[in-house]
Amino acid sequence: MSQDAIGTTLSRRRVVQSLGASVALGGLAGLAGCAGFSEPAPTRKLGRVAVVGAGFGGATAARYLKMWAGDSVDVWLYDRSAQFVSCPLSNLVVGGSRKIENLAVSYQGLRDSGIVVLQDEVTALDPAKRRLSFNKFADQTFDRIIVAPGIDFLFDQVQGYNGEAQKTVTHAWRAGPQTVTLRQQLEAMPNGGVFVIAIPLAPYRCPPGPYERICQVAHYFKTAKARSKIIVLDANPEIISKKGLFTKAYDEEFKGFVDYRPNSRVTELDVAGNTFITELGDRVRGDVLNLIPPQRAGDLIVKAGLANANNRWAQVDWITMESTAAKGIHVLGDATFSAPAMPKSGHMANQHGKAAAAAVLDLLAGREVRPSTMANTCYSFINDRDVVHVASVHQYDAGQKTMVAVKGSGGLSSAANPTEGAYAQSWAENIWADMFARLA
C-alpha cells in the first residue's frame, strides 16, 4: 500500500475523532467540514458489507463506509421501518412542544449516496457463514456484517405486562406510535389525575431519558393541569444521570408536582386496577401508567448467540467493534455491553458507527486497525425551552482492553438555560444530517 493511502487512512481516523468533539458542541461548522470530507477511492473491489438497523449507529456506519470507500465497497442497509424517527427529542412530543413528524428523517440521502437501502425484517443472522435471512428477500452472505438492532424489552420481568396490557400501558421507549399514544392519554387525563412512571434498573437506553420525561410531563401539568401530580417509581437507588440538575427541577420549578420514590422496582402490573405493584408489595394506582421495562440487546443479537454478557448485551472488541463471540460481525450502539461510564445514547451510537466503518475498511484492505477516540453529549429538556447537558470523551486503554473516560474531559451544565436549548436543537439537526447525508 502506498504512503499516500496510509496517510489518507490516518487522516480519516482523525476526522472520526474530531467529529465527536464538533457534534458534542452542537457545532454546525465542524459537521459541515466533515460532511464535505472525501478521499480517493481504492481502485480494487474490497467487498460487500451489510448493515442491519438504520438508526444512530447503523445509518452512520453505512454512510461513512460509502463516503470513505466509494465504489470499492458495496453497502447494503436494512431496516424494518420506512423512515427514521428519533428517540432523542421524543419526550418533547410527550410534553406537547413537538410533533412526532418533526422527528422523522427520510433515508433518501443514503440512497443518493450509493447505498442500497431496503425495508425488510432481518429474521436471522448466521455469524459463521456471515449470512442474513429476511422476511421478504432471499438469504444473502456478506464479507462483513454490522449489526445495530437497538434494544428489545424484557416484558416477562413484569408480571401482567403481556401483549394485551401493552395496548393500554405504554412504554414509549421507541419513538413512534406509543409516543403519540402516551401524549393523548395525558391530554385525556382529568385535571387532578395522577401519572405514574416506572423506571427500570440500569443499564437501559438513554440514562437521563426517564427523568427528562418527568420534567416534560410536569411542565405540561404546570401549564395545563395544575392539580395533577406525578409519582415516580424508580428501581434505582437514586437518579442515575444529571442527578443534581433534575433534583433541582423537581424541587423548585415543579415543586408539588413530582413524588420521586427510589428503590421502587415494579414487578407486577394490574391492568384492570390501573395499578403498579412493587417488589415490596406497594400498590400505586394512576390515571395514566407509563412502564419502561428492563431491556437487552435486540432479538437478532440474542438469537444469533452474540449476547454473551448476562445473555443481555453483546461484548465487543473496542478497537474493531467486532463481537467477541464472532469475527466479522460488528455490533454497535445500545446493543453493546457498554464500556465503563459509556452511556447507551444516540450520540454514542453515532460514534460507534464511525469507528466501525473505519475498522471494516481497514480489515477489508488488510491494514492494521487502530482504536478511535469517541465523544458523547446528551441534552435533556427541563421544559420547552431550558436544557441541561452532560458530555464525555472516551479513549481506548490497551491495558484494560476497553474504552475509558478521559479524566477532566466533558462536563455538566451548571443550570438549565435557553442557550443550551438552541444547542440541543442544533445538535439534533446536525447529527441527523451527519447520519443521513442531507443538508441540515
Answer whether residue 376 is part of any domain. no
Q: Are residues 365 and 276 in the same domain?
A: no
Q: Are residues 141 and 160 in the same domain?
A: no
Domain CATH number, residue 275: 3.50.50.60
Torsions phi, psi of 425, nearest 5? -65, -40
In b/e form, how buried is each residue of 183-209, taking b as 16+ CB within 10 angstroms?
bebbeebeeebbbbbbbbeebbbbbbb
Structural domain count of the chain:
2
pLDDT of residue 20 exceeding 50, the answer is no
Answer whether residue 403 is part of any domain. no
Torsions phi, psi of 325, nearest 5? -95, -10
Answer whether residue 180 is part of any domain. yes
pLDDT of residue 428 exceeding 50, the answer is yes
CA torsion sign for 104, 109, 110, 112 is positive
Q: Are residues 265 and 307 in the same domain?
A: no
Q: Are residues 134 and 180 in the same domain?
A: no
- Here the cell at position 43 is 481502485
pLDDT of residue 31 exceeding 70, the answer is no
Answer whether residue 270 is part of any domain. yes
CA distance 381 to 205: 17
What is residue 239's DSSP assignment?
Answer: -
- Quote the domain boundaries for residue 233: 155-293
Q: Which of residues 39 and 202 earns the better pLDDT score?
A: 202
pLDDT of residue 344 exceeding 50, the answer is yes
Residue carrying the nine cell digits 415516580 = 232
Answer whether residue 303 is part of any domain. yes
Q: Are residues 188 and 135 in the same domain?
A: no
Q: Are residues 330 and 271 in the same domain?
A: no
pLDDT confidence tier of residue 439, bands split at 50, 70 and 90: low
Q: Are residues 30 and 131 in the same domain?
A: yes
Q: Are residues 230 and 349 in the same domain?
A: no
Q: Are residues 191 and 265 in the same domain?
A: yes
Q: Are residues 311 and 282 in the same domain?
A: no
Answer whether residue 200 is part of any domain. yes
Share the mean pLDDT of the chain.
92
Rounded mean pLDDT of 49-62?
98
Q: Are residues 241 and 333 in the same domain?
A: no
Answer whether residue 239 is part of any domain. yes
- Here the cell at position 41 is 477511492
Answer whether residue 254 is part of any domain. yes
pLDDT in tens, 231-285: 999 999 999 999 999 999 999 999 999 999 999 999 999 999 999 999 999 999 9
Q: Are residues 195 and 142 in the same domain?
A: no
Determine the pLDDT at residue 410.
86
CA distance 35 to 280: 53
Tell me the pTM.
0.91
CA distance 192 to 196: 13
- Given 238, 269, 293, the domain boundary residue is 293
pLDDT of residue 173 exceeding 90, the answer is yes
pLDDT in tens, 76-116: 999 999 999 999 999 999 999 999 999 999 999 999 999 99
- Given 245, 270, 293, the domain boundary residue is 293
- Given 260, 293, 326, the domain boundary residue is 293
Determine the pLDDT at residue 27.
38
